[in-house]
Amino acid sequence: MAPRRLTGRHTIVLPAAAVYQSGLTSRSRHQEANSSRLSLTRAAEHTSSTSLSSTNACHLAAFRGRRRPPPLHWICVRSRKISSSHAYVRQKANQGYKERKDVIRKQLNNPELSLSSYDTAWMALVPLPRSPSSPCFPGCVEWILQNQHDNGSWGIHEADSSAKKDLLLSTLACVVALKKWNIGLEHIRRGLSFIERNISIAMNKIDTPIGFDIIFPSLLSTAIGIGLELTIPQTDVDGILHLREEELKRLAGDKSCGKDAYMAYIAEGLGNQLDWNETMKFQRKNGSFFDSPSTTAASVIFNYDEKALQYLDLLVSHFGSAVPTVYPINIQFQLSLVDSLQKVGIYKQFSSEINDILDMTYSLWLQRDEKIVLDITTCAMAFRLLRMNGYDVSSDGMSHVAELSSFTSSLKGYLNDTKCILELYKASKLCLSEDDVILDNIAIWSASLLKEKLCSNEVQREPIFAEVVHALEFPFYATLERLDHRCNIENFDARSAQMQKTEYLPYGVFQDILALAVEDFTTCQSIYQDELLHLDSWVKEHGLDQLKFARQKLPYIYLSAAANICEPELSDARSSLTKNAVLTTVVDDFFDVGGSIEELGNLISLVEKWDGHNEEDFYSEEVKIVFSALYSTVNQLGAMASTLQNRDVREHMIDAWLHAMRGTMTEAVWQRSQYVPTIEEYMKNAVPSYLMGPILFPTLYFLRENLKATVVKDHEYNELYRLMSTCGRLLNDSQSFEREGSEGKLNIVHLLILHSGGSMSMEDALGVVHKSIDTCRKDLQKLVFRKGSVVPRTFKKRFWNICQTNFVYYRETDGFSSPTSLNSLVNAVINEPLKVPN
């Protein structure tokens, strides 16, 4: 038959008619069967070829171990017997596990940060407004006296750590505060001794706090001016003061818009050199400048402001006699904790607390609260977490940083803050429409800045470096959950210190997160290994390994199940997914290369009969092996799922298989008759022939949540299925068209070229396909991330997981067909122990 011509614009139609109506009745199955038999009479002689069009289905696999998995807080011991001597160890492990969770839960509800000696010192320097000879906050002065380290320093001092610039800065600020009020002579002497011993640190270029080259020399001049006797070589003093002069000279020549914000932020180092009328524009509603106690204290000292003093009063009433380096910071810190818990895969253990935090964040987002809007890092993270968790947030909330010029005008932009740029980049990837100019713009300039960062020696030394590399290489829609968890765990910064004008730390909570994540990942790996062994036995038990035409891809298949259905308690879901995925691989290969047209028709007929089949109905031994494995597996899973759902769901599973087989048969008929389908015909059939229905639909019944029949029949459910299958089919076609073309099989790339009458090149056809993939993926994202829909989020997530898996397997090559390309991923998820520094 001559090729059909496609006129007009070359686009791929994604017809809603392709949607699998999951409520097909047995009668409709038989009616479609008659149509299939008529098509078979016109089928051409079998031509050998290998189709990967539906084998993406096989990427999503799982297995239920026959033994119930151990509690999450145990490390699964793989020996057959556990000696009684382990009982005490298990008891202690359980106790430690609970304690870690309690620490994390406490921090989620009521965050605590380390106190800042540096900011407390600036609070101590503030005089009483009407009595300048007395401190406004005497409690801060007393705190300084009570919190000097044995080595004479103030600040965050960790065991076995060397002196750093922020310790030097904090110590000098505390010494100056004590000298101003003529108190603590011995403390001053010891503090000066620490500074004298470590003064050379001030002139190195490593781990420099923000504004250090302005603030430290300024404090040093103040110290000398008020009579503090420092035994420091004059050359060192001159060198340090020269740092300030050079920095002031640089600022004088700096024409960037962000300079004003930066100078305001380090106001304590500039004092009366600042234009305070200009600086007041950075004051926030709470009276602070950048939520920084030290900057705000400086504004009271150098340019008395009642509102700023009220902010300082609030700090003292809230914290007592010492303050953190940033306040308020609760929402920023809480979102950071939520993000960390999600990145390492243990967020479900804190779902109640996380939901409360996200609800509160959403309320602040709608109010355009300063705590969200004015901190760009927090704004980007809030947008990403809210959108990914189904909240209705518009990208208009990011409009103030849509342009690079707007970003560089901010403090974070001026500082070229890596964490902030990374958060903006990740947020920009959550674009849900074709014309979101705001997110598209952010994506372009943030990616460019991050790529520049990768060339920086300074960034390469930072813990965030690996995260930047991963984000640029693997967009969130092209990752597997458990692989992400592993990468994040192995590169996790358990210390999670942040350097601003001084260093601040959370109270050890990130160490607890890391310990819990390592324990969880190790436990799950042991479970996955056991499940894979049982699954291999199941394959052999049904003789599927003896079918010469069938690809043996069990590790690849199981990879995506373990990587996406991570929870140890969801063994049944992994079992359903894995067994059905193995069977779809067998069926796909049987229809492609293994069976004659008579055998294919025989197999469909057996599925139509199901319980009514007889032993003499089998056309061949291969048909018998395939159908017997399918029949026993679907019946077993159907009975289990029906019990869990408290209704009969087996019929739905059978319908899914029959619908998929008919789609695959249509492809087989096209190939054998050398029929060239239209674009519309091909895309309509792409949904069932991609074979995702019999893989995913049964699995959803094992997610420990009720899946109502009305949901299964709803348009949204079927639209999720259509978009997921269409996206997967197009991805597969874009990577397999050369191989399939050499084997005489047409896919969407060939059809676009053929129907263009030769006017479209291979590159143009691929461009059309890639654009359609992008559109399809965004439409699926919109459905998955939407809150308040008919399909519960638990189930929507699994449609998205399959889409992600398809991107991983087919983003750059036909990974599923490769004998080795996915081995490293299999090992990373299932076999190789974590590599986490002590």
Report the C-alpha gap between 129 and 342 in whole angstroms: 48
Mean of pLDDT values over 293-308 = 96
Any residues with CB less than 8 A from the CB of 37 and at least 6 apart, and which? 601
- 18 confidence band (pLDDT: 50, 70, 90): very low
Q: Is 495 exposed, middle or buried (0-12, 13-18, 19+ CB in 10 A)?
A: middle
Report the C-alpha gap between 168 and 501 in whole angstroms: 12
Dihedral sign, CA of 150, 154, 160, 164? negative
- 725 confidence band (pLDDT: 50, 70, 90): very high
Mean of pLDDT values over 183-190 = 97
Regarding predicted confidence, which is higher, 463 or 768? 768
Mean of pLDDT values over 756-778 = 93
Secondary element (H or E) of residue 740: helix 715-742
Residue-level pLDDT at 117: 96
Question: How large is the angle between the packed helices 86-109 and 330-344, nearest 10 degrees?
Answer: 140
- 749 confidence band (pLDDT: 50, 70, 90): very high
| Whether pLDDT at 215 is above 80 | yes
Report the C-alpha gap between 162 and 101 in whole angstroms: 32
Paired tokens of 798? 């699994």
Regarding predicted confidence, which is higher, 146 or 744? 146
Mean of pLDDT values over 20-37 = 37
Residue-level pLDDT at 161: 56
**pLDDT tens digits, residue range 397-418?**
999 999 999 999 999 999 999 9
CB under 8 Å, gap of 24 or more: what pairs does 435-441 form? 436/395, 437/402, 438/395, 438/396, 438/398, 438/399, 438/402, 439/395, 439/398, 441/402, 441/403
Comparing 63-77, 159-173, 435-449, 742-756, the range with the smallest average pLDDT is 63-77
**For the chain, first and last CA: distance in Å?**
68
CA distances, 90 to each of 95, 298, 379, 406 (Å): 8, 54, 42, 55
How large a percentage of the chain has pLDDT more than 70?
Answer: 87
Residue 321, SS3?
A: coil
| Whether pLDDT at 440 is above 80 | yes
Dihedral sign, CA of 165, 166, 167, 172? positive
**Count of residues making up the chain:** 838
**pLDDT tens digits, residue range 672-715?**
899 999 999 999 999 999 999 999 999 999 999 999 999 999 99
| Whether pLDDT at 838 is above 80 | no
Residue environment code for 177-189, b if the CB has 16+ CB neighbours within 10 A, otherwise e? bbbbbebbeebbe
Q: Is 732 within 8 Å of 806 (Cβ atoms)?
A: yes
Residue-level pLDDT at 35: 37
Report the C-alpha gap between 544 and 622 in whole angstroms: 10
Residue-level pLDDT at 23: 38
Residue 135: what are its φ and ψ, rounded to 5°? -75, 140
Q: Is 669 within 8 Å of 39 (Cβ atoms)?
A: yes
Report the C-alpha gap between 392 and 390 in whole angstroms: 6
Q: Is 604 within 8 Å of 665 (Cβ atoms)?
A: yes
**pLDDT tens digits, residue range 334-353?**
999 999 999 999 999 999 99
- 738 confidence band (pLDDT: 50, 70, 90): confident
Residue-level pLDDT at 443: 96
| Whether pLDDT at 92 is above 90 | no
Residue 190, SS3?
A: helix
Paired tokens of 657? 């298989």
Residue matched to tokens 């006017």: 759
Mean of pLDDT values over 744-771 = 92
Mean of pLDDT values over 519-542 = 96
**pLDDT tens digits, residue range 614-654?**
988 999 999 999 999 999 999 999 999 999 999 999 999 99
Q: Write out the DSSP string of 511-565.
A: HHHHHHHHHHHHHHHHHHHHHHHHHHHHHHHTTGGG-TTS---HHHHHHHHHHHS
Paired tokens of 137? 């906050």
Where residue 48 falls (left for φ over 0; alpha for ψ -120 to 50; beta otherwise) is beta
Paired tokens of 725? 């299958």
Regarding predicted confidence, which is higher, 560 or 175? 175
| Whether pLDDT at 545 is above 50 | yes
Identify which of 327, 318, 275, 277 has the alpha carbon closest to the alpha carbon of residue 297.
327
Identify which of 299, 254, 293 has the alpha carbon closest to the alpha carbon of residue 280.
299
Position 665, amino acid: M
Residue-level pLDDT at 455: 87
Residue 590, SS3?
A: helix
Report the C-alpha gap between 736 and 434 in whole angstroms: 27
Mean of pLDDT values over 270-276 = 94
Q: Is 293 exposed, middle or buried (0-12, 13-18, 19+ CB in 10 A)?
A: buried
Report the C-alpha gap between 645 and 701 in whole angstroms: 7
Mean of pLDDT values over 549-554 = 89
Parallel/antiparallel/unpaired status of strands 131-135 and 127-128: antiparallel
| Whether pLDDT at 58 is above 60 | no
Residue-level pLDDT at 255: 87
Mean of the per-residue pLDDT values of the chain: 86
| Whether pLDDT at 229 is above 80 | yes
- 256 confidence band (pLDDT: 50, 70, 90): confident
Residue-level pLDDT at 818: 65
Residue 148, SS3?
A: coil
Report the C-alpha gap between 154 and 176 in whole angstroms: 12
**pLDDT tens digits, residue range 111-155?**
888 899 999 999 999 999 988 999 999 999 999 999 999 999 999
| Whether pLDDT at 42 is above 50 | no
| Whether pLDDT at 809 is above 90 | no
Mean of pLDDT values over 185-198 = 96
| Whether pLDDT at 89 is above 90 | no
